[in-house]
Chains A and B, each alone.
Chain A
Amino acid sequence: DAGVIQSPRHEVTEMGQEVTLRCKPISGHNSLFWYRQTMMRGLELLIYFNNNVPIDDSGMPEDRFSAKMPNASFSTLKIQPSEPRDSAVYFCASSWGTGGGGSNQPQHFGDGTRLSIL
Chain B
Amino acid sequence: GEDVEQSLFLSVREGDSSVINCTYTDSSSTYLYWYKQEPGAGLQLLTYIFSNMDMKQDQRLTVLLNKKDKHLSLRIADTQTGDSAIYFCAEITPGNTPLVFGKGTRLSVIA
Looking at B30, B42, B44, B50, the one whose CB has the most chain A CB atoms below 10 A away is B42
Interface residues on B, range: 20 to 34
Assess the B98–A42 pair: CB atoms within 8 A. no
Complex CA distance for A111 and B103, rounded to whole angstroms:
18
Do A106 and B33 form a contact, CB below 8 Å, given A91-B43, A111-B41? yes
Interface segment, one of A12-20, A76-84, A96-104 = A96-104
A100: contacting residue among B40, B97, B103, CB under 8 A? B97
With A33-B98, A102-B92, A104-B48: A112-B103 Cβ-Cβ less than 8 Å: no
Q: Contact: B98 with A48, CB < 8 Å?
A: yes
Interface size on A, residues (CB 8 A): 27
Q: Which residues of A contact B31 (CB under 8 A)?
A: 104
Contact of A45 among B45, B98, B103 (CB under 8 A): B98
Question: Bound complex: CA of A43 vs CA of B99, how far in Å?
Answer: 11
- CB 8 Å contact bits of B49-70 with A (1 = contact, 0 = none): 0100000000000000000000
**Is B88 in contact with chain A by the CB < 8 A criterion?**
yes
Return A114 CB to nearest CB of chain B, in Å. 8
Query: Do B99 and A107 have beta carbons less than 8 Å apart?
Result: yes
Shortest CB-to-CB span from B61 to chain A, Å, is 15
Given known pairs A43-B104, A91-B43, A111-B41, the reply for A106 and B48 (CB within 8 Å) is yes
Chain B positions near chain A (C-beta within 8 angstroms): 30-31, 33, 35, 40-45, 48, 50, 88, 92-99, 101-104
In the complex, given contacts A45-B98, A111-B42, what are 8 additional A-B residue pairs having Cβ atoms less than 8 angstroms apart? A93-B42, A101-B92, A101-B98, A102-B94, A102-B95, A106-B45, A108-B45, A109-B44
| Interface CB pairs A-B, < 8 A, 18 | A31-B98, A42-B102, A43-B88, A50-B96, A93-B42, A93-B43, A101-B92, A101-B97, A101-B99, A102-B96, A102-B97, A104-B50, A106-B99, A107-B45, A107-B99, A108-B45, A109-B35, A109-B44
Give the B-binding residues of A (Cβ under 8 A). 4, 31, 33, 42-43, 45, 48, 50, 55-56, 91, 93, 97-104, 106-112
